[in-house]
């Protein structure tokens, strides 16, 4: 792909002396077309979908319908009705966890590299007798499929849900979801996938993955904040009790009873984030012009430069496999006897490099290893350049050398 041409679309990257933005696992930048789409909604078409029949209302209703179809296309889903708009991936996961009809003794299996958003909603279920089991990863953080299969077998008929991160925000390591889903389905489990770090960076086809539910956030894939997605098979979504009921979710209601509409309305309570959905459509239209595999390859290429450039430094350990191609665009670094937050601040002050420092909401992984302050994480996107990757290496090396003196 033409990275220089792609960068031209992002206003923050075209200012004088722009920063080296390597915090994309947290949030990507927005292209001008997305900014314009959000502004256009408020300036020219500020109305509600699915309610008013005037031209503004009909226009935004059509936008919501189009965007739902484009989201389905982006993840390889056949039926657009199975795409639910949510505020973010965290809300999507909570809707699944809180919306299922649980029985005491049901088992949920996750990995030990889950974002808190794919951990805490399941932990909350344990108060009502659900058992949460965690499958430990291998020493290099790759998924242990044998240990997972053993856990499923041990749970047996009690296994209700398997919920796994597709690509880890800690280390960029991908879980073999298709293989895991097949095993889980053999035991009758529902398979949910946290796709927050995969949907923005690589080709996704939920049918090929074999999962039943897939959650992701738009703010990590060039779109606005406040928009998330929950895709699920109709038979599962139709059984979920909404965690936000009322408004457009309701088919009929009296003083003492109610009935809910079919999906997607059933799970989309309250006024939608229509400006965000307009921006989402613009982001999807832009992404549709590119091959997502090219994005993945560009990010891996940058990670290889970063990883090879710093791994020799004293007191530096990169989390995950040594081969950068197994870590996508994420280079997450443990530092011996150095303050992670201080190094993160210095990266900006010394070289204008924006990275993230801390626990990255993967507290369980660090807690299990007795690491209190977390790691320094550089995460690339397709608009980052090889020159920026080398700037990261030079800046990081200068800081580490200086602090070691």
3-state SS assignment for residue 174: strand
Query: What would the two tokens of residue 358 be?
Result: 């801390």
**403 pLDDT more than 70:** yes
Q: 222 and 30 in contact (C-beta within 8 Å)?
A: yes
> Would you call the peptide bond into 264 cis, given omega within 30 degrees of 0 as the criterion?
yes
pLDDT at site 405? 66
- Ordered domains of the chain (ranges, CATH): 3-27+291-404 (3.90.1150.10), 34-287 (3.40.640.10)
pLDDT band at residue 50 under the 50/70/90 scheme: confident
Query: What would the two tokens of residue 266 be?
Result: 């059933």
Beta bridge partners, 353, equal 20
Nearest Cα neighbor of 287 from 69, 66, 35, 31 is 31
3-state SS assignment for residue 65: helix
d(CA 95, CA 338): 40
Could you tell me how many helices (H) and strands (E) the chain has, helices first?
14, 15
pLDDT at site 81? 98
Tell me if residue 361 is catalytic: yes
Q: Which residues touch 159 (CB under 8 Å, ≥6 apart)?
A: 107, 109, 152, 184, 187, 188, 189
d(CA 73, CA 390): 36
Residue 206 CA neighbour count, 13 Å, CB half = 28
| Residue located via tokens 């077309």 | 33
Q: 209 and 77 in contact (C-beta within 8 Å)?
A: no
Neighbours of 25 (CB within 10 A): 28
Query: What would the two tokens of residue 176 be?
Result: 């073999």
Q: What is the dihedral of CA 248, 251, 253, 256, to 10 degrees?
A: -110
**404 pLDDT more than 80:** no
pLDDT tens, 336-360? 999 999 999 999 999 999 999 999 9
What integer best gives the mean pLDDT of the chain? 97
d(CA 313, CA 164): 33
Percent of the chain with pLDDT over 70: 100
pLDDT at site 51? 82
> What is the chain's Cα-based Rg?
22
pLDDT at site 359? 98
d(CA 239, CA 279): 30
pLDDT band at residue 218 under the 50/70/90 scheme: very high
Q: Mean pLDDT over residues 213-227, rounded?
A: 98
Query: What would the two tokens of residue 202 be?
Result: 């690589």
d(CA 318, CA 195): 23
User: Which listed residue (211, 278, 331, 361) is catalytic?
Assistant: 361
3-state SS assignment for residue 345: helix
pLDDT at site 6? 98
Nearest Cα neighbor of 332 from 344, 346, 345, 348 is 344
d(CA 22, CA 379): 5
d(CA 388, CA 392): 6
Q: Which residues touch 257 (CB under 8 Å, ≥6 apart)?
A: none
| Residue located via tokens 């530096």 | 316
pLDDT tens, 268-302? 999 999 999 999 999 999 999 999 999 999 999 99
Task: Label residue 349 exposed, middle or buried (CB < 10 Å: 0-12, 13-18, 19+).
Answer: exposed
């Amino acid at each position: 792909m033409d990275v220089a041409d792609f960068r031209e679309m992002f206003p923050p990257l075209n200012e004088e002396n722009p920063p080296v933005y390597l915090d994309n696992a947290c949030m990507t930048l927005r292209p001008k077309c997305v900014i314009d789409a959000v502004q256009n909604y408020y300036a020219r078409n500020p109305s509600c979908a699915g309610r008013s029949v005037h031209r503004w209302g009909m226009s935004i209703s059509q936008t919501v319908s189009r965007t739902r179809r484009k989201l389905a296309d982006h993840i390889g889903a056949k039926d657009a009705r199975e795409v639910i708009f949510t505020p973010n991936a965290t809300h999507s996961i909570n809707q699944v966890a809180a919306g299922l009809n649980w029985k005491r003794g049901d088992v949920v299996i996750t990995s030990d590299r889950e974002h808190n958003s794919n951990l805490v909603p399941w932990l909350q279920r344990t108060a009502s007798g659900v058992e949460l089991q965690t499958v430990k990863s291998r020493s290099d953080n790759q998924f242990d499929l044998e240990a997972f299969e053993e856990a499923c077998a041990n749970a047996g008929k009690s296994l209700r849900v398997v919920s796994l991160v597709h690509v880890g925000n800690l280390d960029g390591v991908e879980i073999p979801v298709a293989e895991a889903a097949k095993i889980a389905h053999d035991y009758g489990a529902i398979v949910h996938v946290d796709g927050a770090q995969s949907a923005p960076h690589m080709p996704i086809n939920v049918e090929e993955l074999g999962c039943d539910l897939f959650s992701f956030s738009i703010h990590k894939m060039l779109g606005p904040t406040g928009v998330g997605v929950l895709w699920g098979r109709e038979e599962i979504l139709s059984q979920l009790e909404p965690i936000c009921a009322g408004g457009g979710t309701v088919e009929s209601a009296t003083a003492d009873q109610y009935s809910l509409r079919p999906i997607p309305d059933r799970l989309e309570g309250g006024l939608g984030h229509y400006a965000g959905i307009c921006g989402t459509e613009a982001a999807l239209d832009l992404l549709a012009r590119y091959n997502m595999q090219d994005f993945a390859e560009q990010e891996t290429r940058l990670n290889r430069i970063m990883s090879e450039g710093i791994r020799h430094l004293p007191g530096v350990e990169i989390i995950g496999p040594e081969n950068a191609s197994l870590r996508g665009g994420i280079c997450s670094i443990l530092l011996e006897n150095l303050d992670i937050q201080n190094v993160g601040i210095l990266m900006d002050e010394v070289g204008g490099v924006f990275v993230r420092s801390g626990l990255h909401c993967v507290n369980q992984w660090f807690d299990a290893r007795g690491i209190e302050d977390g790691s320094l994480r550089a995460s690339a996107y397709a608009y980052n350049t090889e020159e920026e990757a080398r700037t990261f290496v030079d800046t990081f090396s200068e800081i580490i050398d200086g602090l070691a003196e």
